[in-house]
Every structure is written in structure tokens, then in C-alpha cells.
């Protein structure tokens, strides 16, 4: 039978999981990649011919959404309603394919316990929010155990291993109200991650060294087992943007040799007043123009830009042969036994 890896995304994290699927195919061409999800669009299926998409039936929530916390809770509750159909789909797929792994988005956590007791398939978590987000996830059960009040009612600094201290009132609201069901969903997901076959994270080690180190050193869960962690990011969509295509379309419609093009390179950053002077000059000239404009130079922005450029270069190194991301992907596909 054909070996396949199944990915089970939530709608909000589909793009990054698609990039993960492509990386799996790149590093292990001998396996197929299958997405199980609600209502994959024709455009999505057409744009990804090397990936198989299996639709799940649409489900409806029994209770109305009346707040932001209700909305986030629904991200967990919809997959829970899909559990029977997901189980049926995977059972049917197992008849024709050897499922090497199931990778679920963290919002699809209700599938973990349901499927673990019914199917013999290694289940991995996918965490889209990087190592700091994963550190928070893994530390949430400890935080829940050490506090009895809701964070929204406290005025303290929350210390999450590997992350900067955060005032309790600035913690994401889904973790601040113990009385709302969504709080327990996140706590339970943190607990389930410990039991998984591994956690795939959209980051690379040199981007979040402190968080990655804290996780590897078990500081987030001193008394618990550490599942394998695979830092395989950045999982970013490549290719031309819509704006670039629109610019080219506009250029093609202009008379030959009639457009003035302005581009000052990656270090061409100007102040607001300088940009305004150039804009006035262009307007008064009356010529057609295409101008690649960067954000105005403000205090400290040049230094920030240098940091962004350095991170971009670090990401390229991480994804190159022998880089940390490439090594993590090899470890991940090797774990699909």
C-alpha cells in the first residue's frame, strides 16, 4: 500500500500547513500527502495537484456565538463535532493507504483523544505561532495549577520559560478567564501535546533561541515527558504578490518608453519630508511613474530594518542544506515509521 501523511488543518492555519505538506513531499518524495478538511475549494485543489484533499461534511454549532471568547471556542468545537466523520475517513483511507502520521492543528486538539483510543496512528501537533507560543501552550497546565484566580483579575507579571515577562492583563484573553470554556480548551491542549508523537513548530532555532532552549531543557514542564520538537519554519508562501502582478499589468498597458521607474534599493529609506518632496516633484512633472516606496525613516527604524534583514538571512540559512530547519524536517520525516 502507498505510504501517506495526513494533515488536519483548521481554516485559519491552512496556508502554513500547506507549506508544511509541500516540505514533506520535498524531503520524502516516496510518501503522499493528504489533507482532510471541511470544504476544500476548487481553487485550492487545482493549485496543489500533488496533494490529495478529502472533504469532511459541514457541521453547525448548536449554540450561538455572542463574544470573542465564544468565537475562539468554536475553533475547538467544530473539530469536535467532526470527530466521527474524521474517524470514518481515516478508517476508510487506511484500507488503501498506510497512514504513517496524522498532523493536527492545535485547534483540532479534540481529535487527539478521540482518535488515540480508536486508531493506531502516530499523532503530531502543528503549532503555527512559533516557539514562544508553544512555550506558553506547554506551560499553561502548570500556570493553571499554580493559580486559582483568573489572570484578568490579577495584576502580576506572568513568567513563561523562554519568553519575556508579560503583565497578566496583556495575556491573550482566551487564557485570562477561567470561567469561560475556551480557557479549559487551551489547558487541555497543552496537556495533550505531552502525549503526542511530536510537535511541529513554525519557527527556526536562531529566530527564537531562548524559547527553543527553554523547551528543550524541559523548563515548561519540569515533571513531564518531552515530545520530540521539530522547528521547521519559516513556513511562508513564496511567489509574486497580487500587487506585483497588478503593477506589471498596468505597465503593459502604458505606451512604450513612457514610464519613469523609481527604486532606491533595499537600503533606500527616506524620511517623511523627503518622500513628500519627491512625490510633489513627480506630480508636477506630469509623467507616468512606478515608484517602489519603503516606509519612511523614523527614529530607530534603520536599526529595526537591519534586524529584519538579519532575520531574513538567518531564515535562508536555516532552510538551506544542513541548516536547522532542513535538519528538523529530516528528523520529522524519519520519525514517520
Burial (CB count <10 Å: 0-12, 13-18, 19+), residue 278: middle
Output helix, strand, coil percentages for the chain, rounded to the nearest 5: 50, 15, 35
Q: How far is CA 294 from CA 21, 38, 187, 259, 269, in A?
A: 33, 39, 42, 20, 6
Q: Hey, CA dihedral for 173, 176, 181, 182, is it positive or negative?
A: positive
Contact present, 10 and 108 (Cβ < 8 Å): yes
Q: Hey, CA dihedral for 188, 193, 197, 203, is it positive or negative?
A: positive
Cell digits of residue 40? 476544500
Total H helices, total E strands in the chain: 11, 11
CB atoms near residue 157 (< 10 Å): 11
In the set 13, 27, 88, 299, the catalytic residue is 13
Q: Hey, CA dihedral for 6, 330, 220, 226, is it positive or negative?
A: positive
Identify whether 13 is a catalytic site residue: yes
Cα atoms found within 13 Å of the Cα of residue 189, Cβ hemisphere only: 31
Burial (CB count <10 Å: 0-12, 13-18, 19+), residue 22: middle
Cell digits of residue 189? 491542549
Q: Hey, CA dihedral for 311, 315, 172, 72, is it positive or negative?
A: positive
Of 16, 167, 181, 176, nearest to 105 (Cα)?
16
In the set 87, 105, 188, 252, the catalytic residue is 105
Of 181, 217, 228, nearest to 329 (Cα)?
228
Positions marked active-site: 13, 105
Amino acid at each position: 500500500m502507498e505510504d501517506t501523511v495526513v494533515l488536519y488543518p483548521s481554516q485559519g492555519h491552512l496556508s502554513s500547513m500547506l507549506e508544511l505538506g509541500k516540505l514533506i513531499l520535498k524531503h520524502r518524495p516516496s510518501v503522499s500527502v493528504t489533507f482532510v478538511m471541511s470544504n476544500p475549494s476548487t481553487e485550492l485543489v487545482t493549485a496543489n495537484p500533488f496533494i490529495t484533499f478529502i472533504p469532511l461534511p459541514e457541521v453547525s454549532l448548536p449554540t450561538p456565538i455572542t463574544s470573542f471568547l465564544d468565537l475562539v471556542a468554536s475553533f475547538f468545537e467544530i473539530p469536535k463535532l467532526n470527530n466521527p466523520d474524521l474517524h470514518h475517513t481515516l478508517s476508510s483511507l487506511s484500507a488503501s493507504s498506510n497512514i504513517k502520521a496524522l498532523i493536527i492543528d492545535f485547534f483540532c486538539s479534540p481529535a487527539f483523544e478521540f482518535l488515540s483510543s480508536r486508531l493506531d496512528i502516530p499523532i503530531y501537533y502543528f503549532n503555527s505561532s512559533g516557539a514562544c507560543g508553544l512555550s506558553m501552550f506547554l506551560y499553561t497546565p502548570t500556570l493553571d495549577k499554580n493559580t486559582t484566580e483568573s489572570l484578568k483579575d490579577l495584576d502580576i507579571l506572568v513568567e513563561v520559560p523562554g519568553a519575556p515577562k508579560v503583565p497578566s492583563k496583556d495575556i491573550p484573553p482566551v487564557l485570562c478567564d477561567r470561567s469561560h470554556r475556551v480557557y479549559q480548551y487551551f489547558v487541555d491542549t497543552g496537556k495533550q501535546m505531552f502525549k503526542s508523537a511530536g510537535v511541529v513548530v513554525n519557527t527556526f532555532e536562531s529566530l527564537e533561541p531562548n524559547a527553543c532552549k527553554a523547551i528543550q531543557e524541559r523548563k515548561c514542564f519540569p515533571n513531564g515527558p518531552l515530545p520530540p520538537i521539530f522547528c521547521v519554519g519559516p513556513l511562508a508562501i513564496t511567489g509574486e504578490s497580487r500587487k506585483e502582478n497588478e503593477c506589471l499589468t498596468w505597465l503593459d498597458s502604458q505606451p512604450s518608453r513612457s514610464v519613469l521607474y523609481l527604486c532606491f534599493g533595499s537600503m533606500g529609506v527616506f524620511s517623511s519630508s523627503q518622500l513628500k518632496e519627491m512625490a510633489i516633484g513627480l506630480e508636477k512633472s506630469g509623467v507616468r511613474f512606478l515608484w517602489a516606496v519603503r516606509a519612511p525613516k523614523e527614529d530607530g527604524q534603520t536599526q529595526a530594518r537591519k534586524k529584519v534583514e538579519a532575520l531574513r538571512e538567518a531564515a535562508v540559512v536555516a532552510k538551506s542544506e544542513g541548516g536547522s530547519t532542513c535538519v528538523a524536517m529530516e528528523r520529522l520525516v524519519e520519525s514517520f515509521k
